Amino acid sequence: MAGSLNVTARLAWRNLWRNHRRTLIMLLAIGTGVWAMVFMSALMRGMTDQVLLNGLHNLPGEAQIHHPQYRADPSVVNSMPMPAGTLYEALGEAPISAWSARVRVPAVIASERESRGVTLLGVDPVTEAGVGALPDEIVEGRFLNGPEDRGLVIGASLARRLDTDLGKRVVIMSQDPENNVADRGTRIVGIYRARLEGTEDQLVYAGRNVLQEMLAVGDQVSEVAVTAGDYRRVSAWLPALQQAAGDDLEVLSWMQLQPFLDSMLGVQDGFTLIFMVVIFVALSFGLVNTLVMAVFERTREIGLQQALGVRPTLIMLQFLLESLFLLVLGLGAGNLLAWLTIKPLESGIDISMVAEGMEMMGMGTTLYPALQTSDMWMSTAIVVILGLVASLLPAWRASRLDPVRALNKT
């Protein structure tokens, strides 16, 4: 049996190269298809990653702890105490790598000439850096020195709209828990640039302690952002944290905080699969055609093999193997090509030509293709499995030929 398998495989391999032009065209077609599957899915993954990372950037940490009412009513009234006791200990457990407590209130910022509605963030620069929530780049001045820093850091776009500049004074107004307007004059000590202009307009950074003092909330904070470094593995540590936080606080993962981002990942997975299958279907016509032709051309030969006692299953296997060799070669070429084209692009593709449109979709001006091995495996599985399924019919027909008639065919 092993011997006949060996012979069959060798026959299939030789048959493949009998008509090398046809085989090469088919290889070209399969290779292009596989390349498209892998390349396009890497591009799409790259886009989703960008949207996701930008989304998570505005919502630092993979999980956040709030007062249960805070999300429905993001007011300073619904603040929470600084983590202490069991929660504080739970936040120190691995794999949690950093956490940051912040005061986050809606506010109005007024320069000499203009005023704007913004989100005022009272932060501790050191812990914010831990959760990766610092502004992307400080273009003028400096970031806050610590939670006691009395300065203000605003976005470049906001500075332009407010008609103000580094070192100028602005007034920030918000509401304290008694609903009195709390305001204070302060100096702009830094101007930052963000990936999205919307962020620059919206987020204004102040020292946490300074803001707590202005709002008269003691050491209460609005939210605690928690990170463990990988947004795909939140479920591993979230339950423990929820347990430690108790019933008085709400601990939610980014999937719950931003269901849109989560559903986008789902849509993306489904879309990648559909895309690959559709490309494969476009390919399969050519594949089936090639095999049908091969069977047709070799009718006499198949008849002879049968007359000499080769079992139908072996003939079927011969055609299936021929198809498999073709698919595997095409897969190798396609994946290699995809790898070769994606690797040089991984440092980023400049898409600033359509930057504002990208910003509408929540992306930056550079696209980073993300080659995932799972996508390569998925395309391989689709091509091999569906390819063999598509080859079944021609192979089966070949095995069912009537030897006498086949031999007589001219």
Beta carbon of residue 374, minimum distance to another protein (angstroms, whole number): 19
Cβ contact 55:362 at 8 Å: yes
Q: How far is the CB of 51 from another protein (least distance, A)?
A: 10
Nearer to another protein (CB atom), residue 340 or residue 360: 360
Query: Can residue 308 be called a binding residue for another protein (CB under 8 A)?
Result: no
* Closest to 213 in 3D by CA, of 187, 188, 190, 186: 186
Number of residues binding to another protein, judged by CB under 8 A: 67
Phi, psi of 369, deg, nearest 5? -65, 140
Phi-psi region of 88 (alpha: psi -120 to 50; beta: other; left: phi over 0): alpha
Q: What separation in angstroms does the CA of 321 have from each of 8, 166, 178, 326, 389?
A: 8, 71, 78, 8, 12
| Binding of another protein by 232 (CB under 8 A) | no
Is 306 in contact with 3 (CB distance < 8 Å)? no
Beta carbon of residue 305, minimum distance to another protein (angstroms, whole number)? 19
Whole-angstrom distance, CA of residue 26 vs CA of residue 173: 69
Binding mask 311-350 for another protein (x = CB under 8 A): ----------------------------------------
CB 82 within 8 A of CB 124: no
- 3, exposed or middle or buried, with CB in 10 Å at 0-12, 13-18, 19+? exposed
User: Using a CB cutoff of 8 Å and minimum separation of 24, what contacts does 286-289 make?
Assistant: 286/26, 286/29, 287/26, 287/30, 287/323, 287/326, 287/327, 287/387, 287/390, 287/391, 288/390, 288/391, 288/393, 288/394
Binding residue for another protein, selected from 355, 384, 388, 407, defined by CB under 8 A: 355
CB of 166 to another protein, least distance (A): 17
Q: Is the Cβ of residue 131 or residue 406 nearer to another protein in the bound state?
A: 406
- Enclosing H/E stretch for 28: helix 20-58
264 binds another protein (CB under 8 A): yes
Chain centre to alpha carbon of residue 48: 4
Residue number, 87 or 367, with CB nearest to another protein: 367
Among 7, 236, 267, 307, binds another protein (CB under 8 A): 267
Q: Tell me if 6 contacts another protein by CB under 8 A.
A: no
Choices 207-215, 240-248, 300-308, 354-362; region in contact with another protein by CB under 8 A: 354-362
Nearer to another protein, 88 or 260 (CB): 260
Interface of this chain with another protein, residues 146 to 205, rule: CB under 8 A: 160-161, 163, 173-175, 179, 181
**Which one of residues 7, 240, 282, 307 is an interface residue with another protein (CB under 8 A)?**
282
- Say if residues 38 and 221 touch (Cβ distance below 8 Å): no
Q: Which of residues 38-57 bind another protein (CB under 8 A)?
A: 40, 43
Residue type, 173: M
Does a cis peptide bond (omega within 30 degrees of 0) precede residue 74? no
- Residue whose CB is less far from another protein, 5 or 24: 24
The residue (of 40 and 138) whose beta carbon lies closer to another protein is 40
**What is the amino acid identity at position 164?**
T
Least separation in angstroms between residue 36's CB and another protein is 4
- Interaction between residue 393 and another protein (CB under 8 A): no
Shortest separation between residue 312's beta carbon and another protein, angstroms: 21
Site string for another protein, 57-76 (x = CB under 8 A): ---------------xxxx-
Among 36, 170, 327, 406, contact with another protein (rule: CB under 8 A)? 36
| Per-residue binding letters, 85-114, with another protein (x by CB under 8 A) | ---------------------xxx-x-xxx
Q: Are 324 and 388 within 8 A, CB to CB?
A: yes
- Cα–Cα distance measured from residue 392 to residue 288, given in angstroms and rounded to the nearest whole number: 9
Q: Which residues bind another protein (CB under 8 A)?
A: 19, 21-22, 25-26, 28-29, 32-33, 36, 40, 43, 72-75, 106-108, 110, 112-118, 160-161, 163, 173-175, 179, 181, 259-260, 263-264, 266-267, 270, 275, 278-279, 281-283, 285-286, 288-290, 292-293, 296-297, 351, 353-361
